[in-house]
A and B are shown apart, each in its own frame.
Chain A
Amino acid sequence: MVILNSKSKEEDLVLTVRNLSYKDRVLFDELEFVLEKGKWTSLMGISGIGKTTILRLIAGLASEFSSGTSIVHSRKISGELAYMSQVDLLFPWLNVLDNVTLGARLRGEECSKDRALELLRSVGLYANAADMPSSLSVGMRQRVALARTLMEDRPFILMDEPFSSLDSLTKVRLQDLAAEMLQDKTVLLVTHDPLEAYRLSDSIYVLSGQPACLDSTIKPAGAPPRMIENSEVLQGQAELLARLSKAEAP
Chain B
Amino acid sequence: MKLFRIFTIAIAFLVAWHLFTLLTGIEFFILPPPAHVGTALINHSYDLAGHALTTFIEIMLGLIFGTGLGALCALVMMVFQSVRLWLLPVLVISQAVPVFALAPILVIWLGYGMASKIAMATLIIFFPVTATMFDGLRQTKQGFLDLANSMNASRSAILIHVRIPSALPSFASGLRVATAVAPIGAIVGEWVGSSEGLGFIMLHANARLQIDLMFAALLILAIMAVTLYFTIDQLLQKVIIQH
Contact = CB atoms under 8 A, between A and B. Distances in A.
Interface of A: 56, 59-61, 78-79, 81-83, 85, 87, 89, 91-93, 102-103, 105-108, 132, 134, 152, 158
Interface of B is mostly: helix
A91 B151 contact: no
Interface of B: 141, 143-144, 146-154, 157-158, 161-162, 165, 168, 241-243
Given A92-B243, A93-B168, A79 B152 contact: yes
Nearest to A86: B143
Given A85-B147, A152-B151, A93 B241 contact: yes
Given A103-B151, A107-B153, A152-B151, A89 B161 contact: no
Given A59-B146, A79-B152, A134-B241, 7 more contacts: A59-B149, A59-B150, A60-B150, A83-B146, A105-B161, A108-B157, A132-B241
Contacts of B242: 92
Contact of B158 (A83, A85, A93, A106): A106
A61 B158 contact: no
A158 to B, nearest CB: 8
A56 B144 CA distance: 14
Contacts of A59: 146, 149-150
B184 to A, nearest CB: 32
A82 B150 CA distance: 6
B168 A61 contact: no
A105 B160 CA distance: 11
Nearest to B142: A61
Contacts of B150: 59-61, 81-83, 158
Nearest to B241: A93
Contacts of A102: 147, 151, 161
Given A105-B161, A106-B157, A108-B157, A61 B146 contact: yes
B153 A106 contact: yes
16 contacts: A61-B146, A61-B150, A83-B146, A83-B147, A83-B150, A85-B147, A89-B141, A91-B165, A92-B241, A92-B243, A93-B168, A106-B152, A106-B158, A107-B154, A108-B157, A132-B241
A134 B243 CA distance: 9
Nearest to B243: A92
A100 B154 CA distance: 19
A107 B162 CA distance: 12
A60 B149 CA distance: 8
A83 B165 CA distance: 21
Nearest to A145: B147
A181 B161 CA distance: 28
B149 A93 contact: no
A91 B144 contact: yes
A78 B152 CA distance: 9
Contacts of B149: 59-61
Contacts of A60: 149-150
A61 B151 CA distance: 11
Contacts of B162: 91, 106
Nearest to B156: A108
Nearest to A56: B146
A115 B136 CA distance: 34
B143 A85 contact: yes
B161 A106 contact: yes
A103 B148 CA distance: 7
Contacts of A83: 146-147, 150
Contacts of B158: 106
B168 A89 contact: no
A223 B162 CA distance: 39
A20 B184 CA distance: 57
A137 B147 CA distance: 21
Contacts of B148: 106
B152 to A, nearest CB: 6
Contacts of B161: 102, 105-106
